[in-house]
Amino acid sequence: MKKFVNDPKDFVPEMLEGLALANPDTLRYVPEYNLIMRADAPMTDKVSIVQGSGSGHEPAHVMSVGKGMLDAACPGDIFAAPPTDYVYETVKMVASPKGVLLLVNNYTGDRMAFEMAQELSEADGVTVRTLFIDDDVSVQDSTYTVGRRGVAGNFFVMKAVGAAAERGADLDEVYRIGEKVNSVTRTMGMALTACTPPAKGSPLFDLPDDEIEMGVGIHGEPGRRREKLRPAKEMVHELVNAVVEDLPFTSGDGVALMVNGLGGTPLSELYLVYGLAHKELAGRGIEVRRSYVGEYCTSLDMAGASITLVKLDDEITDLLEAPAEIPARVF
Amino acid sequence: MKKFVNDPKDFVPEMLEGLALANPDTLRYVPEYNLIMRADAPMTDKVSIVQGSGSGHEPAHVMSVGKGMLDAACPGDIFAAPPTDYVYETVKMVASPKGVLLLVNNYTGDRMAFEMAQELSEADGVTVRTLFIDDDVSVQDSTYTVGRRGVAGNFFVMKAVGAAAERGADLDEVYRIGEKVNSVTRTMGMALTACTPPAKGSPLFDLPDDEIEMGVGIHGEPGRRREKLRPAKEMVHELVNAVVEDLPFTSGDGVALMVNGLGGTPLSELYLVYGLAHKELAGRGIEVRRSYVGEYCTSLDMAGASITLVKLDDEITDLLEAPAEIPARVF
């Protein structure tokens, strides 16, 4: 394993400490509960938005905390759901009289932790709703999932509900928007290589030098099939095709197109993939109106990429255009 | 080689086409000269800023084109200087009556191309100055370099001169600012792995599983020495120490701290490195006032990171705080 790591058990806390040190004015790290929250939380005049998940998917979700997106994120250890009591404590720390929306990517462990935390919070008198995100078209059930998995499309749900909450929408309205965005968002990814969790110290699965995993999950779960490595345009065609046919997206649709890197793939390749996907869509009469290229939801150091499409209407476009202030490259 | 690539000779043009398709309102791709320019260039009321270099360092420099930074970037092929005539044509396309500043990272091939392009442009009556950037403290001369290499610290020069030009500073003033920022910027990087150029198809150099290259160049050039892989805090200590002692940075200084990923290292590790570096500096009485964590100048898919420090004063801080609109993650 060749990584920047000290003791692997400190990997997540050390990352979170670095994140907070880099954003001293806007973020607060609470080590007791492994959480990152807005420095100005709790806000009493807006619905609070909380997401948790295993770590290893950065910038999801701890680097999505800030004005216009999440009020807090409570990450678990690498690829592990956060403990229920940490989720519960997170809700307590950012609870607003207007209520709390919990966002959960659809994995069994995360569902359990968040559903129990919701019950505990409600017993305390906090109004909570929980929204499950399941944008991955690759497979129906998966290693850690009943139903579809939640992957990079989650970004668009966070962005839209974050903007709506910031504008003062009530909890039911924020929930409605989140559900709507999830319902028109579709993703599929593929792995060129496996990833290496710091505590394991070796690749999470074996992938021969001439093969890829088409439809891979963000924890390295199997996708649709192993395939031979092929030219980028053929692999991108397969990804775009799977995503387009699922909703389906059709001629005349306006979309947001995201090319998300899985952690080990450089921007040069992601932009090459973007160009191929953009042209595939143009050939089908689908118009790309918003573009997202970079890392949004990763799998540690996995080489690979996912493609996400969101069917846009005026309401969603307006929410995606709203400002957000989260840790990101600073210019 | 496991990459998103079609024919390797099309790698750079396909990346540039994707970049332009993702930014249709702000960028223009000119395939004849392999250049990316602001869609609203040439601007007649400001000094134009141009940088070129080999490709493979994205987001440097083609993704740094936009209001408040570069007017154009003319990349060469992977790790190869752009041809003189492409640089010359780029200067022609963005030439302003207020003059053109060429930014060049200090490598022999790039220097030759840009110096000849400057001569050709001056013969056409364009006022041109050229600024060489050499922030890498690792080695004095290197494989492709007489003197120090220019690496990720280049970002701060681009940002400062871009802001100054946007505010209407004249060419001599913009040059003065660039030279000043370069003079207080220091960087050192290290490789955990080699990188694989698409046209080569195999790693550019051999690095055993238990070794790192301390002080690596962004084209894989040798650094100070090969070392055994160690805990992150020991490697970060060595990087910080080399950078701090070079200027030197001393107790009471206020700095910008950049942790730059070399392409294959995920954000989780970069934030871990950031936290360690921040604490190292605090222990020396050096105050981090601005933080940059992410990919700014990469080496294809190399795993590794560099640390850059910039000694801040009011003038530099003000220029770094100025707005810039360049391709980046969109929120």
Helices (H), chain A: 11-22, 84-94, 108-123, 154-166, 171-183, 232-246, 267-283, 314-321
Average pLDDT over residues A214-220: 96
A61 among known catalytic residues: no
Interatomic CA distance for residues B252 and B282, integer angstroms: 10
Residues B56-83 pLDDT 10s? 999 999 999 999 999 999 999 999 999 9
Tell which residue, A102, A100, A99, has the closest CA to residue A115. A102
Instruction: Name the closest residue on chain B to residue A234, using Cα atoms.
Output: B6
Interatomic CA distance for residues A282 and B112, integer angstroms: 41
Q: How far is A119 from chain B (nearest CA, A)?
A: 31
Does the distance separating the beta carbons of B263 and A11 come in below 8 Å? Answer: no
Does the distance separating the beta carbons of A331 and B324 come in below 8 Å? Answer: yes
In a domain? residue B326: no
A2, A3, A4: best mutation site toward chain B, by most B Cβ within 10 Å? A4
Kind of pairing, strands B304-311 and B254-261?
A: antiparallel
Question: What total of structural domains would you count in chain B?
Answer: 2
Residues A81-103 pLDDT 10s? 999 999 999 999 999 999 999 99
Count H helices and E strands in chain B, helices first: 8, 12
Interatomic CA distance for residues B226 and B208, integer angstroms: 10
Does the distance separating the beta carbons of A328 and B329 come in below 8 Å? Answer: yes
Interatomic CA distance for residues B314 and B295, integer angstroms: 26
Interatomic CA distance for residues A243 and A249, integer angstroms: 8
Which of B21, B275, B300 lies closest to A18 in CB terms?
B275
- Read off φ and ψ for residue B188, nearest 5 degrees: -145, 145
Interatomic CA distance for residues B195 and B219, integer angstroms: 9
Q: How confident is the model at residue A327 (pLDDT cuts 50, 70, 90)?
A: confident
Which of A212, A298, A305 lies closest to B266 in CB terms?
A298
pLDDT for A328: 65
Q: Are residues A54 and A135 in the same domain?
A: yes
Does the distance separating the beta carbons of A268 and B264 come in below 8 Å? Answer: no
Residues B246-285 pLDDT 10s? 999 999 999 999 999 999 999 999 999 999 999 999 999 9
Cis? peptide before A248, omega within 30° of 0? yes
B260 residue type, one letter: N
Whole-prediction pTM value? 0.97
Q: Are residues B139 and B198 in the same domain?
A: no
In a domain? residue B331: no
A268, A288, A292, A317: best mutation site toward chain B, by most B Cβ within 10 Å? A268
Q: Residues of A with CB below 8 A from B266's CB?
A: 58, 263-264, 295, 298, 300-301
Average pLDDT over residues B195-221: 96
- Helix (H) or strand (E) holding B93, with range, is helix B84-94
Q: Are residues A211 and A305 in the same domain?
A: yes
Q: Are residues A107 and A249 in the same domain?
A: no
Instruction: Name the closest residue on chain A to residue B262, using Cα atoms.
Output: A266
Q: Are residues B114 and B213 in the same domain?
A: no
Q: Are residues A216 and A165 in the same domain?
A: no
Q: Are residues B63 and B201 in the same domain?
A: no
Tokens representing residue A223 in the block: 């996708």
Q: How far is A124 from chain B (nearest CA, A)?
A: 34
Q: What is the DSSP secondary structure assignment for residue A136, as one 8-state letter? A: B
Cα angle vertex B179, ends B132, B313, to 5°? 145
pLDDT for A145: 87
Which of B266, B295, B329 lies closest to A58 in CB terms?
B266
Q: Residues of A with CB below 8 A from B324's CB?
A: 331
Interatomic CA distance for residues B58 and B79, integer angstroms: 11
Tell which residue, B3, B27, B169, has the closest CA to residue A266. B3
Q: Are A153 and A170 in contact (CB under 8 A)?
A: no
Q: Are B306 and B187 in contact (CB under 8 A)?
A: yes
Does residue B288 register a pLDDT over 90?
yes
First to last CA, chain A: 33
pLDDT for B328: 65
Q: Are residues A142 and A287 in the same domain?
A: no
Q: Is the ipTM of this complex over 0.90?
A: yes
Q: Are residues A200 and A171 in the same domain?
A: no
Average pLDDT over chain A reads: 96
- Helix (H) or strand (E) holding B279, with range, is helix B267-283
Q: Are B49 and B319 in contact (CB under 8 A)?
A: no
Beta-carbon count within 10 A of B234 CB: 13
B9, B213, B239, B271: best mutation site toward chain A, by most A Cβ within 10 Å? B271
Helix axes A108-123, A84-94, angle to 10 degrees: 50
3-state secondary structure of B278: helix
Does residue A329 register a pLDDT over 70?
no
pLDDT for A143: 86
Q: Are A211 and A229 in contact (CB under 8 A)?
A: yes
CA distances (Å), origin A240, targets A155, A200, A258:
19, 33, 11
What CATH number should be reported for the domain holding residue B169?
A: 3.40.50.10440
Q: Give me the catalytic one of A61, A219, A237, A278.
A: A219
Total residues belonging to chain A? 331
Which residue, B183, B205, B236, sits at the end of a domain?
A: B183
Instruction: Name the closest residue on chain B to residue A61, using Cα atoms.
Output: B268
- Read off φ and ψ for residue B93, nearest 5 degrees: -70, -25
Q: Are residues B83 and B205 in the same domain?
A: no
Residues A130-189 pLDDT 10s? 999 999 999 998 888 889 999 999 999 999 999 999 999 999 999 999 999 999 999 999
Q: Are residues A307 and A222 in the same domain?
A: yes
In percent, the amount of chain A with pLDDT more than 70 equals: 99
Please enumerate in sequence order all residues whose Cβ is within 8 A of that of A119, keeping only pairs 6 or more positions apart, or say none: none
Does the distance separating the beta carbons of A55 and B6 come in below 8 Å? Answer: no
- Quick one: residue B201, left, alpha or beta (phi over 0 = left, psi -120 to 50 = alpha)? left
Q: Residues of A313-327 as b/e, b for ≥16 C-beta within 10 angstroms?
A: eeebeebbebebebb
Please enumerate in sequence order all residues whose Cβ is within 8 A of that of B105, keeping only pairs 6 or more positions apart, or say none: B53, B132, B133, B134, B149, B150, B151, B154
Which of A14, A233, A271 lies closest to B272 in CB terms?
A14
B57 among known catalytic residues: yes
Q: How confident is the model at residue B143 (pLDDT cuts 50, 70, 90)?
A: confident
Which residue, A136, A164, A183, sits at the end of a domain?
A: A183
Tokens representing residue A136 in the block: 């991955």
Interatomic CA distance for residues B14 and A82, integer angstroms: 41
Residue corresponding to tokens 């004015």 = A25
Q: Are B88 and B122 in contact (CB under 8 A)?
A: no
pLDDT for B327: 87
Does residue B330 register a pLDDT over 60?
no
Q: Which domain holds residue B215?
A: 185-320
Does the distance separating the beta carbons of B68 and A15 come in below 8 Å? Answer: no
Which residue, A183, A204, A228, sits at the end of a domain?
A: A183
3-state secondary structure of B155: helix
Taking the CA atoms of A88, A89, A94 and A98 in sequence, report the sign of the dihedral they define.
positive
Instruction: Name the closest residue on chain A to residue B78, using Cα atoms.
Output: A268
In a domain? residue B281: yes
Q: Are residues A169 and A263 in the same domain?
A: no
Average pLDDT over residues A63-83: 96
Average pLDDT over chain B reads: 96
In a domain? residue B327: no
Instruction: Name the closest residue on chain A to residue B163, using Cα atoms.
Output: A331
What CATH number should be reported for the domain holding residue A217?
A: 3.30.1180.20
Q: Residues of B243-269 as b/e, b for ≥16 C-beta within 10 angstroms?
A: bbebbebeeebbbbbbbbbbbbbbbbb
* Cβ–Cβ pairs < 8 A, chains A and B: 216
| β strands within B79-224, DSSP E | 100-105, 128-133, 185-191, 211-214
Interatomic CA distance for residues A206 and A301, integer angstroms: 14
pLDDT for B24: 95
Q: Which long-range contacts (CB under 8 A, 24 or more apart) does A228-234 make?
A: A229/A192, A229/B2, A231/B5, A231/B6, A231/B7, A232/A269, A232/A272, A232/A273, A232/A276, A232/B3, A232/B4, A232/B5, A232/B6, A233/A276, A233/B6
Interatomic CA distance for residues B127 and B286, integer angstroms: 40
CA distances (Å), origin A70, targets A50, A86, A99, B33, B140:
6, 16, 14, 43, 46
Does the distance separating the beta carbons of B232 and A298 come in below 8 Å? Answer: no
In a domain? residue B121: yes
In a domain? residue A331: no
